Amino acid sequence: MLVLFKAAGAAALFKNPLHELFEATLPLDNFIDLRELSLTEEQLAEAPNNQQRVIITEQFLLKHIESHKRDQLIISALQKIRLSKGMIKIKDLADTHYISQDAFEKRFRRVVGTSPKQFSNIIKIRSIVDSKPKNGSLSQVALEAGYFDQPHFNKEFKLFTGLNPTDFFKIPQAW
């Protein structure tokens, strides 16, 4: 079973600052009591179908996040990043929330697991992938996304997708 968290969602389950877990593979028993995990694993193994497994997993997660208080400043910042399609200056974002840029970046990394700049870049590339016209000019797409030159766009796009934009958009329904 795979659980995908929304940005800032995993912070409700893990007490560690999420940036400390970035690109790490750790067993869940580092965070949750081993007896409880074993019991949940048994329930999942005995479940008659996937629908029941989802219910068991949801109950397990909800039990562990009930007392979590969401960081409204970071939730607001995430919304602003999404609305701007990743084209927002981090300093402006911090200023909008009346917090220093350094404090904002640290808080964002702790809750989301990545820097606000990295998250903005992910949203920007995702927006490009979602809105790319089938016969549109990639130079125009790059310009509209705030890139000043094609090589920079190509490099960042490949970093996130593994392919340059031309090859990526040739793949039928890759996005």
Residue 32: CB partners within 8 Å, gap ≥ 6?
64
pLDDT tens digits for 26-75? 888 887 888 988 999 999 999 999 999 999 998 888 887 756 678 899 99
For the cut 90, the answer to whether the pLDDT of residue 137 exceeds it is no
Q: Which of 93, 164, 95, 78 is nearest to 128 (CA)?
A: 164
pTM of the model: 0.71
Residue 27 confidence (pLDDT) = 84
Residue 25 confidence (pLDDT) = 83
Residue 135 confidence (pLDDT) = 67
